[in-house]
Every structure is written in C-alpha cells, then in structure tokens.
Amino acid sequence: MLRSCLRIIGFSLVVALSSSIPSLPDASAAQTSSPSGSVTAKGRDVLLDLGTSHGLWAFSSSRNAWNYLHKQSIKSAVRADVNRNNLADTVIDFGSSLGIYALLDNGNWQQIHNLTAKWIIAADFDGSGRDDLIVDFGDPYGIFMLKDSTTWVQLHANTAKSAVVADMDHNGRPDAVIDFGDQMGIWVYQNNNTWVGLHSVSARWILRADLDRNKQDDLVIDFGPAYGIWIRYNNTTWAPLHGVSAKSAIASDLTRSGYLDTLLVDFDTQYGIWKYSKYLKPSEWVQLHGLSAKGLLSIDTDANLQDDVIFDFGSQYGIWKMTNNASWVQMYGISSASMAGVTLPSKNLNEFPGASTDSTRFLTQATFGPTDGDTTRVSQIGYRAWIEEQFTKPRSYHGTFWDSENARLKAASGGDQTANGDQVTGSFWKQALTGGDPLRQRVAFALSEIFVISMADGSIDYYDDRTRGVAAYLDMLGDGAFGNYRTLLEAVALQPMMGRYLSHLGNEKEDPESGRLPDENFAREVMQLFSIGLVQLNLDGTPKLEGGLPIPTYTPADVAGLAKVFTGFGWYSTTLNDEYWYGWKSNAARNYRPMVAYPQYHSTSEKAFLGVMIPAQVEPDPLTSLRVALDTLYYHPNVGPFIGKQLIQRLVTSNPSPAYVERVASAFNNNGAGVRGDMKAVIRAILLDPEARNSTITASYGKLREPILRISAFMRALNAKSTTGRFPVGRTDDPSYSLAQSPMYSPSVFNFYRPGYLPPNSASGDAGMVVPELQIANEVSMAGYANFVAYALSNGLPLWGTSKGDIKPDYAPLMALATTPSELAERINAKLLNGQMSDTLKAAIANGVLTITVPDATATNKAAVDEAKLNRVRFALLLALTSSEFIVQK
C-alpha cells in the first residue's frame, strides 16, 4: 500500500538566519473569530515522570495533590479511554522491561502489550465511537492499531519517527500524521483506509493547531535548520512561519478563544521560548521566557477553558506552571524526564498534599486540629500512608489516666477525694490536645456523638466513681474507631454506663402478674440512633419513598419485641445472684467491665422484631437473643448510609452529595475484601474521597466547627501544654460563659445537636442544607464562646478555679511577627485557617493589631514591650478565632 512516489511540494526558502533575535513577519489581517473550538488535551492532571530516582508521579489539579503512581520511569504516556466506559484512562509505556500498561479510571492497572513502543497516539480513528491506539512497535513489527482498544491490526510494516493526531481531510474523523523519516517523509493515514503523502522531507517535530481559527486543523511542522518552521493551513496551503528551527513547540489556547491558535516555540538556549499567534498584538511574536525548556505541556488545569502551560526548566529551575497566560508558580523543584496531560482516577491513589495548607486542611478533618509535626508527616508520606500509619499508633487509655489520678487524689486527700467527671474530661483533653494517635481520638469523639452517653444526668452522674466507666466507654469507642462495627455495637450494648444511661442495665423480663413490661429505652435508641435510624434509606443516604412518603424502619411493636432481648443484663460479676444484680454487692470492676447475662432475669417468651422471630426459649439464653438482635441490626442495609453519612458530617461536610455517601456506605458494606462493617475502610473512604480532598470550595461545602473543635484546633496549632499534665479543663457546657459543649456531658442521648438540624430563616436553611452544629451556635453561645476565647488567650485554661491557667499555648513563634502585622495574619492563616483567609480578614487583623501600641524598646522596658507584642498576638488570634472564616471548616 505504500506509495513510492510522493508529490514534492515546492516552497521558497525563508529568511536567512541571523545570530540575533530573528526578525518577525508582519502580523496578517486578523480573522474574525467564530465560537467554540476544541482545546488541548482535555485531561486536567499533569503526569510527571521524575526519573528513575523518584519514579512516576501525577499532580491532581482538582485536589491540589501529588499522586505517586509507580516507581519506574517511563517512555511515554497518552490519554485514552481503553476500557470503553467513556472515562479517560492513561496509557503508559514503561519501556521494554514492563511494556505498555493502562492506568484505568478505576485505579487498576491493565496491560496493553508486553512490547515497548517508539511512539503511541490515541484517537477514534475509525469513527466507531471508541478510542483506538496507534502503536509503533519498531523493527521488525511495524505500526499497529489497537482498534477500539480490543483488536490489533497492522497498519504498516515500516516503522516511523513520530506521529501526531489531526483531522486532515476535515471530515470530523481524526487521522494520523506519521513521519516515516528521511527516506519516506511524512504521510497521512487518512480515515483509517488511505495513505496520503504530505511531504517528502522528514520533520524535527510536528504539531496540530488551528492557527486561523476556522475549526479546521492546521499542522505546524519544523523541517529542521535547512527549511525552518512551516504551517500547513487546512491541508491546502503551505506558509512559512519562521526560518529558525526550534527545539520543540506546543499549541495552546492561551487567550480563551476556543482555538489552538497560539504556539509556544522553544528556540533553544540562544533565543528562549517565544509565543506566536496571528491574533497577538502588537506583534505576532513575543518572547515569553529567556530560558529554554526540557519539556512543554499545554493543559487546562483549572478547567476554565483557558490553557495553562507547564514548563520543565531543567534541574536547575525545576517545573513551573503559567496559569491562564498570567501567573507563574513553581510546581516542583526537580526536572522531569517527560510530561503528559492526563486524567487521573479519582481513587486508589496515594496522594500527597500539593501545599502545606492542603495538609492542614486534611488534618482539620482527620484530627482535633493540625500541628506542625503532623503537617510535615502528611506532606512527607501522603494522605493514605498517614492514615495507615495512624492505624498502628500506640494507644493511651482514658481508664489508665483515671485510675492513676484516682490514686493520686486519694493519697493527697487521705482517702476523701476521688477521681470523677473532671478526670474524664481531663483525659479527653489530654488526648485531644497531645495524644499520639490523633486519628483514632478524632474518630472516637465522632462516635461519642452518635453512641451517646452523658454524665449530665443522674444515671451516670458526674461525682461518682461510675465515671471510671465513662473513661472505659471512651476507650471502647477508641477500639471501635478502627475495629468492626459489629464488635462496636455489641461493646456499646454491654457497656455498663450505656446500661445505666439507657436503663437496660438491670432490665427485667416481663411480669404478667403486675403487668410490668421490659424497659424499652435502649431497644428504641439502639435502632433510632445507633444503627438503622427512623426511615428506610437508599445506599446514598436519601430516604426511600413510597407514594412520596418515607418508610419507617420500625414500629412500636418492634421496640417492644426488641426490648425483651435486652433483659437480664446486669453488673459484671462472677456470681450471678440477686445481690449482684441489684447492686447490693458489687464486683470492683463492675463500672467498666462489660455487663453479663443473668439468665434468671432474661425474657424467655417469643421475641419478634424487624421481621425476625426468636422463638420462646425453654432455658433462658440471653447471649443467643443478643446475638440474633445485634446481627439483625448489623446486616440491615440502612447501617452503611446511616452511620456513614453521620461520620462524614462529623469530619468533613454537613451536606455530602448522595454520591459521596454512597461511596462511603459501599465501603462499609464491603471493605474490598468482602468484610462488612470495617471501620478502617469507612475512614479511608471518607478522608480520601475526592469530595473531602477536592480543594475547590463551593458556597455550601463544609461544616461549622463545634466549640470543642474550635478550641482544640487553637490549642494544637499553638502547641499548648499543661503544666500539671492533667489538662484540668473541667466542664464547659455553660453557653453564657463557656463553650455550650462539654465532652461526655450531652444534654440527652441526642447529642448536643442533631444531624438533621435545619436552621430557621437562614441562608443555608433556605438552600435546603442541614447545619447540625449551628443548633448550639446562637446569640448567647457565640458571645460566650468569643469571651471564652478572649479569657483563654489572656490566662490559659481553665478560665477559673484552683487550676486556672494550667494549660497554656506557646505564643513565641507568633510574637516574633508582632511587629509585622500582615505577616502575623498570614501565619495565623496558615496555622488556623488552612490558607483560606480572605484578604479582607487579613487586612482587618493587621489593622486591628496596629491599634495596639508597642512602645519603643529602651533599656528598662522589655517587659512592657513583650506584653504589648503578646497582646498583639492575642488580639490577632481572637479576631481569627471568632471570624466566620475560621468557625466554618471547609
């Protein structure tokens, strides 16, 4: 099929070379522009091969994050949909050792061929609607097409130098422009059936563009130093562009015209990189940069229909990005072996924060607040690896703290004083502010707002040694954070403090004589709050509807039936008699060891609930009843979306998209290895999801930080320490003078706020959003919070009492910036607002700080100077911490 004769197109030689910057042709008359053309590589993510020492990386533009793909350096990469699902994949040629692979949109790798290629191009050459690959396997194989990514067909026995995709005959179907080298020149494989000669001279490089904006592809061809750069307009006319041959070039849409009408031409070190467009004023050519680049890539990273350009300026300068033809930013300090514009899969990648503020933003979701140490660690090893590392961190136990404090207090008071609720909150704050396993602690806290117990009422009580059981409860939630939901559910059901709180400890079977029936409290709440919720849910968390109305998950009859299951469970004891049941005698560990079954108090009658029936038991069998009940709840399809969505709300955003909820609920249903209820899988799904990592913030994204989290972020960012090591914060639930929230002091089993709270007459309520944490953010509590912060800044925590000021932040790093208010504001931005502070707020903080006079330093006034600087820091922090920009986590 090879044509041996080619038409040779005559052309005149162009301008003679000169050693100075070449003179440029006059701009020709501008074409009238027409709407919409195509833009470059539609992928937004930048694939960067950083060589054998660093491996293959990609930068996700939407998530502002680096992804490590493979340890091996590559030969080339191209974007194509090879698994035929209309989602872009990345075809990567790893070289002869591995061959050609595709990184599919779902994150899986698929081998395309074990041979390596000289070049690969991708397009729908045969018009079938599916991408085809044209692969040049070199001698002795030749050029092949992988039609529709399924069938191999040889196109030519010869091998070629390079190839480019362009629609030469303007019939809407891409063709392949293939440069066979000096012997055969450049040919077009047109419409998947015809070879058409284009030129007998081989090129240094060829690219596709639309320089005249007429929606028909032009080619820009550099024929080498002898002939210079030419343009093949619309497959009809040749026109010279420049007499100087260039190292490389790319076509780009830098002006948002809708056409690839701008060229960036790299004339090598002598002349640097120039920009050319017919439409450029005042001159068609303008120098863009004096440096030559190792590689150029045109790619629209921010999806605004205006291309950005990535420049690899070599190892001395690294990789830079010119965004929207305007601003320059360095992307990476080292050079790459090659670059390509691709679309990364949205999951299963090991992502790294693009900037340290991405790291702090992640830690705001995953912990009680970012610290320098954690921020650095996330930047070093990436999000996924950090999470995995957190799963292995050693534990500190609240119970241990309570016990040691109890011993200390007793010794110090001669036996009068014992540990109580204060030691529970002390342990909570100690671990929240300084614990070595921040992810576990954060998730345990979130769980404590779902599986609620509280010391606020008499059932557990603040003063009692039952608070040892509350410490144990928090430890149990810590176990549950990284365990299995089924184990957690059972641990909750048997925890004695839960037994006290929801009154199923000591719950007795029905007594037909007196008419007494078992207490229904726990049975109701274990369904309503701890497992399945009130209405049937789809996997994406939306309610199922029948006739337009939600479908209840249970009836009062189910509650009554389930209540019988939770009878006969009582205080831990090795002797199961009335004395221990009623508590006249007690085992020393009863406040924290799981409840045990006292069969004589367990209901043996038939128990029917949720479509399940436990038949009447001849011998009471509480553990079987319990197992059946908990299994029934565990396997209910509601659990994934019900619990998953609430965890998303606690950590990331109050109004997740149904798709996000579905992804998390799916992870609950199956962790990938066939296991249901794997909390680690749920945590990964929540924190690594694009909706969590995506750094583009919309007006409805995010959540209010609840008061405990505002204070913890503040204290952690400033490295707060407790003088005594006991973190005696105490209760903080007063709204007028404190935080309106105290850990483990919820006013009811419904937590301090409801997941479905709709704020009245509010911007978010009107938009149909729920804003749970706003339920406790009102005119009195916000004022109380602001004053609390002000006093905490003045004196540390707690605000009053014998331990006043025990916990103090470290202001020294910020004090160094006290005389440069803008920098102070910017540092606070980085530490507390994840780099999201508006210019208005920065200015307000800087100006506010300036109203505080710092006296000129003299020999004797150091204390006054320091106090003034400290006040500046305090005031700046107060403004930052009470701003809505901080209070809202996004």
Partner 1 sequence: MRNIDLNRREFLRRASALSAMGAGAPLAINLGCIGSAAAQTASDYKAIVCVFLNGGNDSVNTVLATDTPSWTRYSALRKQTATTIGLMPPGTAKVPTAPGTNQKLGGVLPVVPTTAQGTRTFAIHPAMTHMKAMFDAKRAAIVANVGPLIVPTTKSQYYNDSVPLPPRLQSHNDQQSIWQSFAPEGSKFGWGGRMGDILAGLNGSRRILTCISTSQSTVFLAGNDMIPYQIGTDGAIRIGWDWMFGAPTATQVIEQVTTATRTHLLEQDTAAVFSRSINTERDLRAALPEKTAVGGTTAIQYAHPVTGVMSTNRLAEQLQLVARIIAAQATLGVKRQVFFVSIGGWDTHSTQNDNQANLLARVSHALNYFDQTLRTLPTVGDLSANVTTFTASDFGRTINSNGDGTDHGWGSHHFVVGGAVKGGDIYGNFPEIGISDKKIGYDNPNEVSRVLLPEISVDQYAATMARWFGLGDTDLLNVFPNLGNFDAAKRDLGFML
Q: What whole-number distance in Å separates Cα of residue 137 and Cα of residue 141? A: 6
Of the candidate residues 142, 272, 747, 805, the single one contacting partner 1 (CB under 8 A)? 747
User: Does residue 875 interact with partner 1 by CB under 8 A?
Assistant: yes
Of the candidate residues 34, 287, 400, 748, the single one contacting partner 1 (CB under 8 A)? 748
Site for partner 1 in 435-464 (CB under 8 A): 457-459
Site for partner 1 in 177-216 (CB under 8 A): none
In this complex, which beta carbon is closest to partner 1, that of residue 700 or of residue 822?
700
CA distances from residue 252 to 88, 342, 758 in whole angstroms, order as listed: 21, 16, 48
Site for partner 1 in 500-529 (CB under 8 A): 502-503, 506-508, 514-521, 524, 528
- The alpha-helical segments, DSSP class H, found in 618-706 are 622-635, 639-651, 658-669, 679-688, 690-693
CA distances from residue 116 to 73, 91, 141, 147, 753 in whole angstroms, order as listed: 13, 12, 11, 18, 59
Q: 631: which 2 tokens? A: 């299994």
In this complex, which beta carbon is closest to partner 1, that of residue 132 or of residue 558?
558
In single-letter form, the type of residue at position 716 comes to R
CA distances from residue 144 to 88, 133, 730, 834 in whole angstroms, order as listed: 21, 8, 74, 50
Q: b vs e for 442-479, b when ≥16 Cβ sit within 10 Å of the residue's Cβ?
A: bbbbbbbbbbbbbbbeebbbbebebbbbbbbbbbbbbb
Which stretch in 376-384, 418-426, 630-638, 867-875 sits in contact with partner 1 by CB under 8 A? 867-875
Of the candidate residues 779, 858, 860, 863, the single one contacting partner 1 (CB under 8 A)? 779
Site for partner 1 in 647-676 (CB under 8 A): 654
User: Does residue 756 interact with partner 1 by CB under 8 A?
Assistant: yes
Strand partners, 175: 166
In this complex, which beta carbon is closest to partner 1, that of residue 301 or of residue 738?
738
User: Minimum Å distance from CB 563 to partner 1?
Assistant: 8
Q: Number of residues interacting with partner 1: please give it, by CB under 8 A.
A: 98
Site for partner 1 in 552-591 (CB under 8 A): 552, 555-557, 559
Q: What angle do CA 294, 295, 298 make, to 5 degrees?
A: 155
User: Does residue 168 interact with partner 1 by CB under 8 A?
Assistant: no
Interface characters, 704-743, with partner 1 (x: CB under 8 A): x-----------------------------xxxx------
In this complex, which beta carbon is closest to partner 1, that of residue 148 or of residue 734?
734
User: Minimum Å distance from CB 781 to partner 1?
Assistant: 7
Contact 614, 565 (CB under 8 A): yes
Of the candidate residues 763, 795, 812, 861, the single one contacting partner 1 (CB under 8 A)? 763
Q: Is 331 left (phi over 0), alpha (psi -120 to 50) or beta?
A: alpha
3-class DSSP state of 231: strand
Q: What whole-number distance in Å separates Cα of residue 362 and Cα of residue 442? A: 13
In single-letter form, the type of residue at position 165 comes to V
Which stretch in 152-160, 264-272, 275-283, 694-702 sits in contact with partner 1 by CB under 8 A? 694-702
Q: 556: which 2 tokens? A: 């009062």
Q: 372: which 2 tokens? A: 């320098």
Omega into 798 within 30° of 0, i.e. cis? yes
In this complex, which beta carbon is closest to partner 1, that of residue 183 or of residue 514?
514
Interface characters, 784-823, with partner 1 (x: CB under 8 A): x-xx--x--xx-----------------------------
**Which one-letter DSSP state was computed for residue 428?**
H
The closest alpha carbon to 419, from 409, 430, 411, 431, belongs to: 409
Of the candidate residues 16, 226, 699, 863, the single one contacting partner 1 (CB under 8 A)? 699
In this complex, which beta carbon is closest to partner 1, that of residue 346 or of residue 507?
507
Q: What whole-number distance in Å separates Cα of residue 226 and Cα of residue 242? A: 11
User: Does residue 774 interact with partner 1 by CB under 8 A?
Assistant: yes
In single-letter form, the type of residue at position 580 comes to Y
Of the candidate residues 129, 333, 414, 760, the single one contacting partner 1 (CB under 8 A)? 760
Of the candidate residues 350, 700, 719, 822, the single one contacting partner 1 (CB under 8 A)? 700
User: Minimum Å distance from CB 869 to partner 1?
Assistant: 10
User: Does residue 861 interact with partner 1 by CB under 8 A?
Assistant: no
User: Does residue 433 interact with partner 1 by CB under 8 A?
Assistant: no
In this complex, which beta carbon is closest to partner 1, that of residue 129 or of residue 512?
512
User: Minimum Å distance from CB 652 to partner 1?
Assistant: 13
The gap from C-alpha 457 to its chain's centroid, in whole angstroms, comes to 39
Site for partner 1 in 816-855 (CB under 8 A): 838, 840-841, 844-845, 847-848, 851-853
Considering Cα of 35, then 41, then 46, then 50, what sign does the dihedral take?
negative
User: Minimum Å distance from CB 550 to partner 1?
Assistant: 9
User: Does residue 872 interact with partner 1 by CB under 8 A?
Assistant: yes
Torsion angle defined by CA atoms of residues 618, 621, 626 and 632, in that order, rounded to the nearest 10 degrees:
-40
User: Does residue 128 interact with partner 1 by CB under 8 A?
Assistant: no
